[in-house]
Amino acid sequence: MSRKSYIGRLMDQKTLMLMSIPFVIWLFIFRYLPIWGWTIAFQHYRPGTGLWEQKWTGLDNFRLLFQEEAFYLVMRNTLAMSLINLVLGFATAITLAILLNELRSVLFKRVVQTISYLPHFISWVVASSIIVTALSIDSSGIVNLILMKLGLINEPILWLAEGKYFWGILGVSEVWKNVGWNTIIYLAAITAIDPAQYEAAEIDGANRMQRILYVTLPGLKPIIVLLLIMNIGNILESGFEPQYLLGNGLTADYSDNLDIFVLKYGIAMGNFSFATAAGVFKTVISIALLFGANYMAKRFGQERLF
Amino acid sequence: MKLTSRTRTAGDILFDIGNVVFMIGLMVVTLYPFANMLAVSLNDAMDASRGGIFLKPRVFTLYNYEYVLREASIFHSLMISVLRTVIGTAVAVFCSAMVAYTVSRPEYLLRKWVALAFILTMYFNGGLIPTYLLHKELHLINSFWVYIIPGIVGAFNIIIIRSFIEGIPDGINESAKIDGAGDFKIFMKIVLPLCTPVLATVALFVAVWQWNSWFDVFLYNSSNPKLSTLQYELMKILQTANGSSTQATIGDVLGGNQRGVAANQVTPTSIRATMTIVASLPIILVYPFLQKYFVKGMTLGGVKG
């Protein structure tokens, strides 16, 4: 075949183009067009009027946002719940992975793993239904029942009716749902540790605990650092479903986060421009954090994320 | 790490026993809530409201299930859930595989651009309000297709299918080309069948996601009961239970669909337990057999992501 022009060569790939271009068009409509929709954060958007006839208002929506007291409340809740989930999630998953690795029976280990994955696959609606039942004050509320049997409380507590318990309940719920699943990546990393290191530690007289502390944990360090950095970019993503499903009017001061704020102001109140401004704020901070984390990863000599 | 060189010390044995006890505790905490829900759902509703049901039904009945499956609105929502799971999964797997195939062809001139366009979407998105307004403009509100069309291709799915296709020996493609097969034919007849393991992984991810979705129902179709799904129906009952109005009647919960007789035999608690079991049953039945695909997809995604 003689040398053809770029267009000529492209024409030879008609089938491949037909197989991919329609999806690229789909992608632009459904994934890129909404980004262009950020412009309504700088407008006073009125539904029913064309996008070109909207009134531009500059940064007014952002100014309103930063003056809004509720915004600072949801920011506090978002950061608090993110940090609790981050710390609890890491600590429990790493601990469980190490303990699973120490089990002697391969069959027993596999059974525990399979069962511990289950809650990850069920929906938050089902999980919330389970949590509401477990925390209820009637006699089927197992949590109150056990605490009363142990003599820790004298009468049942309405766990989901008081804001001060919400962050804790959410943290524990996230652990219940995801701890098993989150061990996968650590267990994969543990199998990559050179067995010779354990043998050397054994010969040096290290006991079980010392082998965990001085061989397993240092072996996990790179993956822990990498995952921590990745999660920093997600610090404003504190989740939406569990807060929405478990929260109620009584706990709103603690359960409402940035995503629920956007939903309330945007969809429920129809204040589209204001809610979009809050959404844009969240995305811009997240991208900045992601790039910052990537830079940090490079400085610490870790594999970069992208 | 089997260390047989040395006898186990007392501390070792104590650690092992403690570890096994801990794992048993973990399994109990994971499984008990499901067992409890099952027991309540299999117990007479009026009797259950006296409380004290833990692992075994006291007054056994299948009436709750009969009620849930006979109640037209709930049964219909179950059908919509099945429908969106089946259609959504089939469409997503086929379309993702097709795009993955094109970006795996080294000679395809646009491969880098197509791949880049998809990968960029992993790092940012337009957010709730612009997406909502777009779907509204496209008349996807109050429509079944809002469950399918916005999710037909995902960047993550493309990445894991592509890395699988790239592991297929190129000779197979070449010999098919020499035999005169076009790209689409090669994709359908050779690549798709060879990709079964990775397609199973992607199908599972998508199916679980489709089955568990409720937010799109809430956002786009909450005014149309004909498009409701099982998870959304359960969510509505849950909201009533979790709200301050714990005295909600079954009539409030089921939106006036109740029949007088039935209302005396079921309670919101028993209906919720029954629907919780129905909503989780497909997943409980399927995932133990397929978890190795999930784990594979997860570790692959973790490495390539």
Q: What is the pLDDT of residues B227-284, one digit of tens each?
A: 999 999 999 999 888 864 443 444 444 444 444 444 458 888 899 999 999 999 999 9
Q: Three-state DSSP class for B176?
A: helix
Which residues of chain B does A24 touch, with a Cβ-Cβ cutoff of 8 Å?
114, 117
In angstroms, rounded to a whole number, what is the distance separating the alpha carbons of residues B228 and B257?
14
Residue B127 is nearest to which of A108, A267, A276, comparing CB atoms?
Answer: A276
Instruction: Give the Cα-Cα-Cα angle B43, B46, B51 (nearest 5 degrees).
Output: 70
Taking an 8 Å cut-off on Cβ atoms, the answer to whether B153 and A26 are in contact is yes
- Altogether, the residues listed in chain B come to a count of 305
pLDDT number for residue B209: 95
In angstroms, rounded to a whole number, what is the distance separating the alpha carbons of residues B167 and B171?
12
Which residues of chain A does B33 touch, with a Cβ-Cβ cutoff of 8 Å?
130, 133-134, 142
Taking an 8 Å cut-off on Cβ atoms, the answer to whether A112 and B23 are in contact is yes
Q: Is residue B54 part of a domain?
A: no
Helix (H), strand (E) counts: chain A: 16, 2
The nearest CA of chain A is from the CA of B183 a distance in Å of 6
pLDDT mean across residues, chain A = 90
Residue B99 is nearest to which of A23, A96, A267, comparing CB atoms?
Answer: A23
What's the Rg (C-alpha) of chain A? 25
Q: Closest residue of B to A289, CA-based?
A: B123
- Altogether, the residues listed in chain A come to a count of 306
Count of beta carbons in the 10 Å neighbourhood of residue A298:
12
Determine the residue among A9, A15, A16, A244 to mutate to test chain B binding: the one whose Cβ has the most chain B Cβ atoms within 10 Å: A16
In angstroms, rounded to a whole number, what is the distance separating the alpha carbons of residues B72 and B52?
31
For A299, the token pair is 């400085």
For chain A, which residues score pLDDT lower than 70? 1-3, 50-51, 301-306
Residue B126 is nearest to which of A34, A263, A286, comparing CB atoms?
Answer: A34
In angstroms, rounded to a whole number, what is the distance separating the alpha carbons of residues B48 and A271?
45
Taking an 8 Å cut-off on Cβ atoms, the answer to whether B11 and A117 are in contact is no
Q: Closest residue of A to B207, CA-based?
A: A121
Q: Closest residue of A to B300, CA-based?
A: A185
Which residues of chain A does B57 touch, with a Cβ-Cβ cutoff of 8 Å?
none
Taking an 8 Å cut-off on Cβ atoms, the answer to whether B133 and A139 are in contact is no
Q: How many domains would you assign to chain B?
A: 1
CATH label of the domain that carries residue B152: 1.10.3720.10
Whole-angstrom CA distances from A214 to A187, A197, A218, B19 are 17, 10, 6, 19
Residue A38 is nearest to which of B128, B130, B149, comparing CB atoms?
Answer: B130
pLDDT number for residue B252: 45
pLDDT in tens, A124-142: 999 999 999 999 888 778 9
Fold of the CATH domain A60-299: MetI-like fold (1.10.3720)
Q: Is residue B265 part of a domain?
A: yes
Which residues of chain A does B31 touch, with a Cβ-Cβ cutoff of 8 Å?
115, 118
Determine the residue among B211, B229, B242 to mutate to test chain A binding: the one whose Cβ has the most chain A Cβ atoms within 10 Å: B242
The nearest CA of chain A is from the CA of B276 a distance in Å of 6
Q: Closest residue of A to B210, CA-based?
A: A123
The nearest CA of chain A is from the CA of B52 a distance in Å of 6
pTM score, two decimals?
0.89
Taking an 8 Å cut-off on Cβ atoms, the answer to whether A129 and B238 are in contact is yes
Which residues of chain B does A263 touch, with a Cβ-Cβ cutoff of 8 Å?
128
Q: Is residue B168 part of a domain?
A: yes
Q: Three-state DSSP class for A55?
A: strand
**Residues facing residue B43 across a β-bridge:** B60
Q: Closest residue of B to A36, CA-based?
A: B126
**Residues facing residue A43 across a β-bridge:** A56
Number of Cβ pairs < 8 A linking chain A and chain B:
265
Taking an 8 Å cut-off on Cβ atoms, the answer to whether B36 and A104 are in contact is no
Instruction: Give the Cα-Cα-Cα angle B121, B126, B130 (nearest 5 degrees).
Output: 150
- For chain A, give every domain's residue range: 6-56, 60-299
Direct distance between the N- and C-terminal alpha carbons of chain A, in angstroms, rounded to an integer: 38
A51: left (phi over 0), alpha (psi -120 to 50) or beta: alpha
Q: Closest residue of B to A118, CA-based?
A: B284
Half-sphere exposure of residue B186, counting CA atoms within 13 Å on the CB side? Answer: 23
Whole-angstrom CA distances from A242 to A78, A171, A238, A257, B215 are 13, 10, 10, 11, 12
Which residues of chain B does A102 touch, with a Cβ-Cβ cutoff of 8 Å?
15-16, 19
Q: Closest residue of A to B55, CA-based?
A: A140
- ipTM for the complex shown: 0.89
For B43, the token pair is 């117990």
Residue A37 is nearest to which of B53, B134, B243, comparing CB atoms?
Answer: B134
Instruction: Name the strand (E) or helix (H) holding A80.
Output: helix A69-102
In angstroms, rounded to a whole number, what is the distance separating the alpha carbons of residues A247 and A77?
12
Whole-angstrom CA distances from B259 to B209, B238, B256, B263 are 34, 21, 8, 6
Torsion of CA A160, A161, A163, A168, to 10 degrees: -20
Question: How big, in percent rounded to 5, are the helix, strand and coil portions of chain B?
Answer: 70, 0, 25
Helices (H), B151-225: 155-165, 170-178, 183-186, 192-194, 196-212, 215-220
Taking an 8 Å cut-off on Cβ atoms, the answer to whether A20 and B3 are in contact is no
Helices (H), B105-127: 111-120
Burial class (CB within 10 angstroms; exposed 0-12, middle 13-18, buried 19+) of B164? buried
Q: Is residue B48 part of a domain?
A: no
The nearest CA of chain B is from the CA of A130 a distance in Å of 6
Q: Three-state DSSP class for B228?
A: coil
Which residues of chain B does A100 touch, with a Cβ-Cβ cutoff of 8 Å?
23
Taking an 8 Å cut-off on Cβ atoms, the answer to whether B298 and A160 are in contact is no
pLDDT by 10s per residue, chain B, length 305: 444 545 678 888 999 999 999 999 999 999 999 999 999 999 999 998 888 889 999 999 999 999 999 999 999 999 999 999 999 999 999 999 999 999 999 989 999 999 999 999 988 788 899 999 999 999 999 999 999 999 999 999 999 999 899 988 888 888 888 888 889 999 999 999 999 888 988 998 899 999 999 999 999 999 999 999 999 999 999 988 886 444 344 444 444 444 444 445 888 889 999 999 999 999 998 888 777 776 766 666 544 43
For A58, the token pair is 């500059």
Q: Is residue B17 part of a domain?
A: no
Which residues of chain B does A180 touch, with a Cβ-Cβ cutoff of 8 Å?
30
